[in-house]
Amino acid sequence: MHTIKVNLKNRPYDIITGYAILKGMGKYLRALRLGPDAYIITNKLIKNRYGHILDNSLKAYGFNVKFKLIPDTEKSKSLKIFSDVIKALAAYDRKKLIFLIAFGGGVVGDLTGFISSVYKRGIAYIQIPTTLLAQVDSGIGGKTGIDLECGKNLAGTFYQPQVVFSDTKLLETLKPKQLRDGMSEIIKYGIIKDKNLFRYLERNYRDILNLRRKALESVVSRCSAIKAQVVAQDEREEKGLRTTLNFGHTIGHAIEAAGNYRLYSHGEAVALGMLVACDISRAKGLIPDKLQRRIEILIQNTGLPVRIRNLGLEDIIRAHYRDKKFTGPVNKFVLIKGIGKTKIVRNLPLKLIRAAVRKRLS
């Protein structure tokens, strides 16, 4: 079990990672003094698989437990489900000392965090991420949100949990596709922040995909530590540092959107986005061919896509313009100058972007 501190000025909190730690939840929460009512937002699959462990652990330490199920789909990050859940929460909340637990992947985490941040102008919540992607990325850092018809995460807040509890045993029931989605963000951390992690992944990616306990524990705690450090220094993405986490995400989001969020998963789109960002970095002479090739091989080895299929150049460019991060007439790209070295570039010429995307079309 590892404890990583997110050193935020106003309120530091822990990320706890480890194997089969979920049963220790009740004891840990007792010490946080959050009040007696735990309101757990999750989906049917997670509840059926792991709900009893959480339920028993919380009840053993005197908590009242209520599970609130939401559909297991990206569409649950909607105004409709937000309204439904917050109404149900308000109707259930009698003792007024309630806290929320996000028990699921990114959708559950983003929705639960958002509800926690606005219900009664903010109540406590806990993240228990159950996917690899959520454990290494979305469950950490307090970005909450729901999607509007016009775009993803258009309503949201920065709102930190009381603790993140990442039990790597929960990852054992994930599908290969879900593991690959997490791998994409793990590779991102290696590229932008950590040479050793990158080399480790080149040698041991199979261990992660094969759910080796040690490999999972190692990458989850390492990635959590990287994200914790970035978030502690730039919680609200105001100083450019947190922006580096968007490596691969500018074009990644555009690919996701252009494919209507069905053609490519987030991790797949980010993998392609990272490759485009590498292509641009190479075109600008920031990295050598060899490094670009190493990154492409690692991505390919994990089973993530390296070519953009079934999408046109213009679809992607158009979606890119609609991105939330596109402020005014200025775009913002995270490029790399080497493993562990990023460079944020504003107003990158469209010609360069088009050329790099075109190269990736198959």
Provide the mask over 191-220, with x wherever binding to a second copy is found by CB under 8 A and - wherever it is not: ------------------------------
Smallest distance, a second copy to C-beta of residue 210, A = 37
Cβ closest to a second copy, residue 95 vs residue 199: 95
Q: Does 350 bind a second copy (CB under 8 A)?
A: no
Q: Quick count: other Cβ atoms within 10 Å of Cβ 297?
A: 12
- When asked if residue 155 is in the footprint of a second copy (CB under 8 A), the reply is yes
| Contact indicator for 118, 158 with CB cutoff of 8 Å | no
Residue whose CB is less far from a second copy, 116 or 224: 116
Residue 360 CB partners (closer than 8 Å, separation 6+): 272, 275, 276, 279, 306, 307, 308
Q: Which phi-psi region, left, alpha or beta, contains residue 289 (left: φ > 0; alpha: ψ -120 to 50)?
A: alpha
C-alpha 135/C-alpha 129 separation (Å) is: 5
Residues 53-92 that bind a second copy (CB under 8 A): 79, 83, 86-87, 90-91
Q: Considering only residues 127-146, where is the footprint of a second copy by CB under 8 A?
A: 143, 145
> Which of 154/297 has CB closer to a second copy?
154
Among 20, 97, 350, 361, binds a second copy (CB under 8 A): 97
CB of 9 to a second copy, least distance (A): 11
Residues 38 and 101: beta-carbon distance below 8 Å = yes
311 contact partners, CB below 8 Å, separation of at least 6: 255, 258, 259, 263, 361
Nearer to a second copy, 64 or 300 (CB): 64
**Site for a second copy contains 157 (CB under 8 A):** yes
Q: What six digits make up the tokens of 276?
A: 């485009």
d(CA 289, CA 317): 25
Chain residues 237-266 in contact with a second copy, contact rule CB under 8 A: none
Q: Closer CB to a second copy, residue 112 or residue 166?
A: 112
> Please, which of residues 311-330 interact with a second copy by CB under 8 A?
324, 326-329
User: What minimum distance in Å lies between the beta carbon of 328 and a second copy?
Assistant: 5
Q: What are phi and psi of 333, to 5 degrees?
A: -120, 140
Q: How many residues bind a second copy (CB under 8 A)?
A: 35
Tell me the catalytic residues.
Answer: 121, 143, 185, 227, 237, 242, 246, 249, 253, 266
Report which of 170, 153, 36 is spatially closest to residue 103, judged by C-alpha positions.
170
Three-state secondary structure call for residue 73: coil
Dihedral sign for Cα atoms in the order 62, 63, 69, 70: negative
Separation of alpha carbons 52 and 227, rounded Å:
30
- Judged by CB, which is closer to a second copy: 110, or 167? 110
How far apart are alpha carbons 326 and 333 in whole angstroms?
10
- Minimum Å gap between C-beta 114 and a second copy is 8
Name the residues that contact a second copy, by CB under 8 A. 35, 79, 83, 86-87, 90-91, 93, 95-97, 114, 117-122, 143, 145, 148-151, 153-158, 324, 326-329
